[in-house]
Amino acid sequence: MTSGTAPARRRGRPAGSRAGAPETREAILAAARSEFAARGYAKASIRGIARAAGVDPALVHHHFGTKEHLFGAALKFTFAPALETRDILGPGTEGVGERLVRTFLSVWEVPEVRERLIAVIRSALTEEPAAAMLREFVSRELLMRVAAQLDVPDPRLRAELAASHMVGMAVLRYVLQVEPLASADTEQLVALVAPTLQRYLTAAEPTAP
Please report, as a single letter, which amino acid is at residue 152: V
Check residue 148 for interaction with its own copies (CB under 8 A).
no
Check residue 144 for interaction with its own copies (CB under 8 A).
no
**8 A C-beta contact, residue 109 and residue 97:** no
According to DSSP H, which parts of the chain are helical? 22-43, 46-53, 57-64, 67-79, 85-89, 96-108, 111-126, 128-137, 144-147, 155-170, 186-202
Q: Which is nearer to its own copies, 30 or 162 (CB)?
A: 162
End-to-end CA distance of the chain: give it in Å, rounded. Answer: 55
Angle between helices 57-64 and 67-79 (to 10 degrees): 70
Smallest gap from residue 133 Cβ to its own copies (A): 10
Smallest gap from residue 70 Cβ to its own copies (A): 20
**8 A C-beta contact, residue 143 and residue 163:** yes
Smallest gap from residue 46 Cβ to its own copies (A): 24
**8 A C-beta contact, residue 60 and residue 46:** yes
Smallest gap from residue 80 Cβ to its own copies (A): 20
Check residue 198 for interaction with its own copies (CB under 8 A).
yes
Smallest gap from residue 140 Cβ to its own copies (A): 11
Binding track, positions 94-123, relative to its own copies; x by CB under 8 A: ---x-----------------------xx-
Binding track, positions 154-193, relative to its own copies; x by CB under 8 A: x-xxx-xx-xxxxxxx-xxx-xxxxxxx--x---xx-xxx
Q: Which is nearer to its own copies, 113 or 172 (CB)?
A: 172
Residue 37 burial (C-beta neighbours within 10 Å; 0-12, 13-18, 19+): buried
Residues for the chain: how many in total? 209
Binding site for its own copies (CB under 8 A): 97, 121-122, 124-126, 131, 134-135, 138-139, 143, 154, 156-158, 160-161, 163-169, 171-173, 175-181, 184, 188-189, 191-196, 198-200, 203, 206-209
